[in-house]
Amino acid sequence: MPQPKATKHASYTREAMRDRIEGWVMMRVIVTTEGRTGEILIAESLRRDLDMAAVDAMKQWRFKPATPSGVPVAVAVLVEMSFHPR
C-alpha cells in the first residue's frame, strides 16, 4: 500500500464552523506511480463545502507509491478526512 509522506489538513469553512458541523469526508483516491493523487471521488459526503475543502487538501498529499515486486503501481485507497470544531 502507498504510505503518506506529506499531508495537509483541510480548512474548515466559516459556514461549517458557524453551524458547528463535524464528521468526516471519505474519499476514494488514486495514488499514482509517482506518489501523487490522481482521481479523487467522494465516497461519503459530509457537506458540499467541506467535501470540496477535503478534496483541495487531498490534492496536496504526497505518497511513497505502492511497490509490489519492487515496481511502483497506481492503486486506489480510501482516505478519511475529519472535521471537528475546536
All domains of the chain in start order, with CATH:
22-83 (3.30.1150.10)
2: which 3 cell numbers?
502507498
Q: What is the pLDDT of residues 33-84, one digit of tens each?
A: 999 999 999 999 999 999 999 999 999 999 999 999 999 999 999 999 999 8
- Using alpha carbons, select from 57, 56, 49, 61 the residue that is nearest to residue 23: 49
76: which 3 cell numbers?
486506489
Q: Pairing mode, if any, of strands 62-64 and 37-44?
A: unpaired
- Kindly report the pTM of this predicted structure: 0.91
- CA-based end-to-end distance of the chain: 32
The answer to whether 49 touches 11, Cβ cutoff 8 Å, is no
Distance CA 28, CA 17 (A): 25
